[in-house]
Structure 1
Amino acid sequence: MNVTDLLQEARAKGLRFATAESCTGGMVSAALTDIPGSSDVVECGFVTYSNSAKISMLDVAPDTLSAHGAVSEETAKEMVTGALKNSGADIAVSITGIAGPGGSEFKPEGRVCFGVGSASGVTAHTVEFGALGRENVRRASLEHALSLFAEATDQQ
């Protein structure tokens, strides 16, 4: 993903981005803001690694976390909705997953849930990257998140 081109397209359309990151710990925000001049596109990034941060910063419902867990499409949707609500962004992407090592039979290493939100609505999906190792799962999540920003920008 060419981040410079992504930012140029968003800039031309007057769009602002926000991120709501958990397992990537700010990697997506860092990739976007590594580009000079990104401040006219990047509104903010929320790094909500803990459940309490998801609740307080992104308005994720404690009941959602109890019922579905942090690594779920339900949580990803609430994270992206909170990012849009609590920022001036036009497009937001959320990421919550299990980078590893570890995981469980029900939520294996490499499972990452993504949310995408804009004026068009909010969607979520899950990608099973597999047990690639922590660094590789996080890198794959970063690349996928950037592609989601690109798709959402193209649709605006």
Structure 2
Amino acid sequence: MEVAVSDPIEAAEPAARSLADALLVRRLRLVTAESCTGGLIAGACTALAGSSEWFERGMVSYSNESKTELLGVPADLIARHGAVSEEVARAMAEGALAHSRADLALAVTGIAGPTGGSPAKPVGTVWLAWARTGAVTGARLLQLDGDRAAIRLQTVLLALEAGRDAVAAPE
């Protein structure tokens, strides 16, 4: 089977390696909570040999119910703000951290398309959040362009970069 250069796992290797190096230096472990990327961030991380030293686990919480069941995101929070919101992304990151043995959590929730968008939240709207033990949870709104594959790949790359930055930030 031939792998295309646009394969998200292959394309994310440099960003995943950069995050891995930062985690290893500080002896930290990562957990992911993914909705719109469906496990691609975890896949990019675990594609690296030796990832068991720094990757703790990944959770795909695609449905609203799974966000509540796996991550402890309150159902009323999702009902109030929508699954694609800063509040839910932050709760996903904090829930992933609480439901793992990791030191850093990355969470993404968004609309990769081609359907599912609205005027308020068009296709390409993604919330990225990170939580680190002993630090304030951060979040960032992404407004991405392209087709479903491009939006998902951009999300993976930006999440890995945000993780690296969160590791490097002072506690």
| Fold equivalence (TM over 0.5) | yes
Q: Are 2:149 and 1:145 equivalent residues in the alignment?
A: no
- How much has 1:8 moved relative to structure 2? 2.1
Q: Are 2:142 and 1:107 equivalent residues in the alignment?
A: no
- How much has 1:106 moved relative to structure 2? 1.2
TM-score, structure 1 normalization: 0.96
Aligned residues: 155
Q: Is the 8 A contact 2:45 2:55 kept in 1?
A: yes
How far does the alpha carbon of each residue in 1:95-129 deviate from its partner, in whole angstroms, 9 at most, with x for none? 00000012111110000001110121212221101
Match of 1:50 in 2: 63
Match of 1:2 in 2: 15
Quick one: distance in 2 between partners of 1:49 and 1:108? 18
How far does the alpha carbon of each residue in 1:7-30 deviate from its partner, in whole angstroms, 9 at most, with x for none? 122112110000000000000000
Measured on the aligned residues, the alpha-carbon RMSD in Å equals 1.0
Quick one: distance in 2 between partners of 1:29 and 1:3? 10
- How much has 1:34 moved relative to structure 2? 0.3
Quick one: distance in 2 between partners of 1:106 and 1:58? 26
Gaps of 5+ in 1: none
How far does the alpha carbon of each residue in 1:42-64 deviate from its partner, in whole angstroms, 9 at most, with x for none? 00001000001000000001111
Partner residue of 2:143 out of 121, 128, 140: 128
Structure-2 change in CA distance of 1:76 and 1:8 (3 Å)? same
Quick one: distance in 2 between partners of 1:80 and 1:114? 9
Query: What secondary structure is seen at the aligned counterpart in 2 of 1:55?
Result: helix
Quick one: distance in 2 between partners of 1:35 and 1:24? 18
Query: What secondary structure is seen at the aligned counterpart in 2 of 1:2?
Result: helix
- Paired AA for residue 92 in structure 1: A
TM-score, structure 2 normalization: 0.88
Match of 1:98 in 2: 111
Quick one: distance in 2 between partners of 1:89 and 1:40? 11
Gaps of 5+ in 2: 1-13
Partner residue of 2:101 out of 88, 92, 96: 88
Aligned-residue identity in percent: 39
